[in-house]
Amino acid sequence: MIPLVDLLLDPLNYPFMVRGLLATLMVGVVCATVGTYMVLRGMAFFGDALSHAILPGVALGYLAGGSRGSLFWWGMGTAILTSMGIGALSKGARVKEDTAIGIIFAGMFALGIALISTVRSYTVDLAHFLFGDVLGVSGSDLVRMGIFGGLIVIAVLVFYKEFLVLSFDPTLASTLRLPVRFFEYALYLLIAIAIVVSLQTVGVALMVAMLITPAASASLLTRRLPVMMSLAAAIGALSGAIGLYLSYYINIASGAAIVLTCTAFFALAWLGRTIQRAIV
């Protein structure tokens, strides 16, 4: 019988596992924090769209011959522009927000694929972009994640009550003369940064799960917002760690393992809630 401690410590003999673990822990916390607001405000589609819309920026970075570090900034710039664009388009009131998101999502993603197709080599990096490359996280990647992830968490804490009022009752926010537009765009910005920071762990295709699923699980388990956010962060981090260990021991893709763990947690929470309702 292999003691549990060995199971936990063995993979950590390899630096790439340690780095991967740190990355997934950070990503779990950061994504769940902004994801809480996304769940409460029904922004899952927005999150998915924004993840995909980063592709042309990254492709341009490749074409410009950038280093891996610069690709981060290319992605960041594109994410910020896209989120502001969606915000502006849907405020225009000619097009519903759902439609605006769909249009920009598909258009940007197609642009990215078109750009990548002109670069006949390095197409395997497209796969990394789509599905994650957590085993390839470097030390400098971790530092970037830490700095920006930290900024996001701090911003959410500092503006906690403003985001709360904005999400629950935007009319109250207006009558209290809060700068509503500013905070809405600020929230979009935080989501954009969270996505770019987290992209390396699960990739574009599964990013929305890291944002939404832990927060959704938490929403089933508590009725208080601070608890919901903390619980979401804990579930996100735990899912990241468990997923990574799973991928190590049973040989499956790490990104998918992490998301499957998030989903399993949700299923447990949902079951628990259903049983509780049936008993009470």
Q: What is the DSSP letter of 177?
A: T
Q: Rank residues 50 and 260 by Cβ distance to another protein and give the closer one.
A: 260
Residue 270: CB minimum distance to another protein, A: 15
What is the pattern of x (binds another protein, CB under 8 A) and - over residues 141-180? -----------------xx-xx-xx-xxx-xx-xxxxxx-
Q: Is 224 in the site for another protein (CB under 8 A)?
A: yes
Q: Is 14 in the site for another protein (CB under 8 A)?
A: yes
Cβ atoms of 236 and 214 within 8 Å: the answer is yes
Instruction: Reduce the DSSP state of residue 270 to 3 states and report it.
Output: helix
Q: Rank residues 177 and 277 by Cβ distance to another protein and give the closer one.
A: 177
Looking only at residues 30 through 89 of this chain, which bind another protein when binding is defined by CB under 8 A? 40, 68
* Selected range binding another protein among 26-34, 146-154, 188-196, 252-260, rule: CB under 8 A: 252-260
Q: Is 228 in the site for another protein (CB under 8 A)?
A: yes
Q: Which residues of 34-64 are buried (b: 16+ CB within 10 A; e: fewer)?
A: bbbbbbbbebbebbbbbbbbbbbbbbbbbee
Cβ atoms of 156 and 193 within 8 Å: the answer is no
Tallying the residues shown for the chain, one arrives at: 280
Residue 211: CB minimum distance to another protein, A: 17
What six digits make up the tokens of 77? Answer: 């710039």
For 139, counting Cβ atoms within 10 Å of its Cβ (0-12 exposed, 13-18 middle, 19+ buried), the class is: exposed
44 CB-near residues (< 8 Å, 6+ apart): 38, 208, 211, 212
The binding site for another protein (CB under 8 A) comprises 11, 13-17, 20, 40, 68, 117, 120-125, 127-128, 131, 133, 135-136, 138, 158-159, 161-162, 164-165, 167-169, 171-172, 174-179, 182, 219, 222-225, 227-228, 244, 247-249, 251-254
